[in-house]
Structure formats: structure tokens, C-alpha cells
Structure 1
């Protein structure tokens, strides 16, 4: 269901250290990291990931990413979400700055949360 969950934290270094230590028994480690405003991705062996980033926003908006089986589902999600009243935050397409097969669409939901659907499989 979830590909990753991303949320803002008020103390990036402390939160990163806490989650790494607390989730270490589950095999969680750093998968990728950018500057604190972008954040860190934590995962266990390529499974769903938890992403943290530095923010002063209170409460911080959530970034929820759902897994799609194929790119057509990403496209359909985007159309359906806009029809349901969401605001576009990035139409369906490849995001090669994440990786070569990262195909996603983003919308802003009713409460301001960034909702994403992503397919990470190679497309036709």
C-alpha cells in the first residue's frame, strides 16, 4: 500500500538519530540523504520507507506515497484525484532525479497534505 511516508520534524539531527536507533532492530538504515530541508530516507531492505525533513511548519503537512502496480494506475490516480477536488502538485511523469524508473503523480489533498502515487517498475 505505502511506498513511503514523509513528514517534517523540528530537530532533524535528533529525529534522524532517534529513528535510526529505534528502528535498527528492524533492519532500518539510511537509503539516501540530502540537505536537511530535503531530508533522509530510512528503509529496511528496499521495503516501504520513512522519510524525515527539517521544517519550522507546525503542524507539518504529511507526504503520503502509495504504491502503484503500473504507470496507468498513476495516471488514473491523478485524474481521479483532480476530479475529486485535489490541487495538482505534479502531473504523471518520470522523476529521474529520484531514479530512472520513478514514475509518479502528486496532488494536494483537502487538508494540504501532499499525496503521491508512484510506480517504480520499468514502463512500457
Structure 2
């Protein structure tokens, strides 16, 4: 569906701590990109799609890309409800704020299990799995 997305953060160290924890819980990896940014990928062998997270503004972005000018909603696919639970625990331990405890979401027909956490910049980060009980 997409190749990559990117968003700016205020504090790279806080963001890296948070997304390192999220990545570990979901079987993803973070990679250094520059002194002011990092990437979130499936693995070093599968680097697309990726999420670019940084404090700098790439030269090709226009000035409208301000930090949290409009918080984003970033949803990760989890394999199991247990992975969703691990995501939620890891994100909270890394400084995230609970924004929806793990559990069934939406109509029962969706068979969706998810959890929501606000990252250090107030972005709504979700992990969910389909086909859950």
C-alpha cells in the first residue's frame, strides 16, 4: 500500500526509546538513518515499507511539516493478541501514555483486537490483529 511514511518529533532520544520498545514487542527493528533520524523496518533484509522518524526536516519537505502540528495515528499489524499486549506493556514502560487498553475493538464481526498508546509527541500509536477471538 505504501513505500514509507515520515514524521517529525521534538525529542529524538525519547522517540527512539519509545519506538525501540514498540519495535521489539512487534518483531520489528529500528535502524540509524542520521544523527537526527532513524527508521522503523521489518528487518535489515526487508527495509520497505519503512517509517522515518526524526527531528530534522528533509530538504524536500516544505515548511508546513511542523512537529505534531496534527498528531498522526500510526497502526501496526500484530500477529496475535499476545503481541498486542506485549506492545502495550513495552510502550508504557518506554514512556507512552495509555490511550486504549488492549481488548476487542469495533463490531464483533471485525474480529479485531487492539491497543492504543500516545507516544512522547502525542501521536496515537496502535497495534492490532485481525481474526482475534
TM-score norm. by structure 2 comes to: 0.46
TM-score norm. by structure 1 comes to: 0.50
